Structure 1
Amino acid sequence: MTLRVGIVGATGYTALEVARLLLAHPEAELVAATSRAEDGKSIAEIHPSLAGRCDVPIETLDPAALAKKCDVVMSCLPHGASAETCKQLIEHGVRVVDFSADFRLSSQATYEKWYGVQHPWPERIGKTVYGLPEFFADQIRDADLVANPGCYPTSAILPLSPLIAKQMIEANDIIVDSKSGVSGAGRSAKIGTLYCEVNESIAAYGVGSHRHQPEMADLVHRIGGQEISLVFTPHLTPMDRGILSTIYVRPRGGTAKQVMECWREQYADCPFVTPVDHLPATKHVAGTNHVQMTARDAGDRIVLVCAIDNLTKGASGAAIQNMNVMFGLPQTTGL
């Protein structure tokens, strides 16, 4: 049976990436898409790269009607708005992968502090499985709601968690320095992401205040079993897509070689995570769901380098991977 997939909030880059990936998925098909602003158009009109390949009409969201059409819905709405929609969809019996941050964190207080809104479904905070199959596949299989990971957090959680779990690095001295392509800022027009602002430039933003920092700390703690303290600084770079995170850690007597051994053991059965001997670059993983990581000794620190595609493993590819797990398919199906 072909899985029937719907998208809520179909105008953004993550929705486009979901649609693109579903075109190549042998067991799933995009059957419905919604948008408040683009009702009456087709998804190919909103995303011209889909012309001739996908003509799904854009409709106004009706949770009950959408649930009848779909086996799973990808909610690509922003935080706050997504939680209420997810609640309605689940009440109507459809499973949901949520792209927002609404269900990623363990604490309602932490969510409301960093996101500045009252959570519309607080009962699910801390009780929703985090969509990283590398660690939570057993819980994802039976979940009605999966919190799809943030892009920056994916590039930090995967390298750091096994090292914290095995107490190979100091937990209170971690620096995460990340560079992202402009698609990570979304498709809406903003002065800071205009071509003339971004081209031939690189800029830090959200210093000390980026909302992905508590997600990194929370999940590494959840997986590794130890609270951590980290400094996270994101940068905007003049490229379409990709994230490169350079992470500075202080070892507890180990070496980069031992870090690589730890990763190879941890991710031996994970098809998308590859420890590599070369220095990863965003081009190495562009358009794929793959993660490349390496480690280097650097004086009294070890430097971890992780490359992902922010739209694929950092968003829509992870959602397809989660969908595959939810419906008993191999994780790599369509990816």
Structure 2
Amino acid sequence: MSAIQRAAVRSSSPLATAVGGPILVASDGTSVSSDALFNAARLAARAYGGEIAILGVSEPVPGVAAGVDVLPVPPALDEVRRQHLLDDLRREVSVSASGDPAWPIHALIGSPARTLAMAADQQHATVIVMGIGRHNPLDRLFGTETTLATLRESRVPILAVGPTFPSQPVRAVVGLDFSVASVQAAHMALQLLPPGGQLTLVHVRPRFEHPSSEWAAWDADYGRTLPPLFEQVRAQLDVPDHVLVETVTLRGDPAPSLLAYAQQVNAELLAVGTQRHSLYERILVGSVATKVLRTAKIGVLAVPGNARETE
């Protein structure tokens, strides 16, 4: 069975959508793009049916080395930090034009990425809404940027938005490799679009770089397999009449090709499926979703390949 045929088998699996779980908004209480963050949460709540909840996570105070011993941190100190974070979150929601003081607000102590991912999974969240975050070299090298780190830990989809993310996107691009995760990303992106919206399914195929007849034959077979795969995905999506869906095939490296195409068509959202990678692969190569998040100027919807399936 060829790789393309295996993809066709995977993409024929039923869509599993975590509809109705909470929309978990991750914030540190000091976001300069709170309105965009909360607007994105409202959009997700309308699309998926969940209630909005705010969650902040503060890292515990590290112990202080004293010779060969480590002086423990008084538990009360972490609790003071948690209360300060909770106050900041409440203030952020109350002063934001898009916030609602009635939303449940919680603050926890722990590793931000792992704690967010665990809380989302335990609460059966539909999606985690987060900021795109910083893009400086240290964040990329050490993996400290919270959104990227959470993406690696999470079994729940992440909707990452910047300050210019609109309250209602009308154009979305999906990076489609015909895996279950990428089809699920297409399904979730479709739900975010209004009547008159446009969804573009983009498959990035390898560049033709080998002169052999074997490669040419494989590449031709690859091309013939794509149209029925696209049609199969369209059938799975059950596209409403009021949304236009088109398909596009590109050649090149997936992440830059998807980003360039999204910019070319003025898309406000780029959706991708994610796959697990080893630490070695993440450092030297990284996933398509990681590369997209590091450079995207638009909203990114990342759906993990190991996402929790709910009816």
State the TM-score bracket (shorter-chain normalisation). 0.3 to 0.5
Larger radius of gyration: 2
Whichever structure has more helix as a proportion of its residues is 2
* TM-score normalised per structure 2: 0.35
* TM-score normalised per structure 1: 0.33
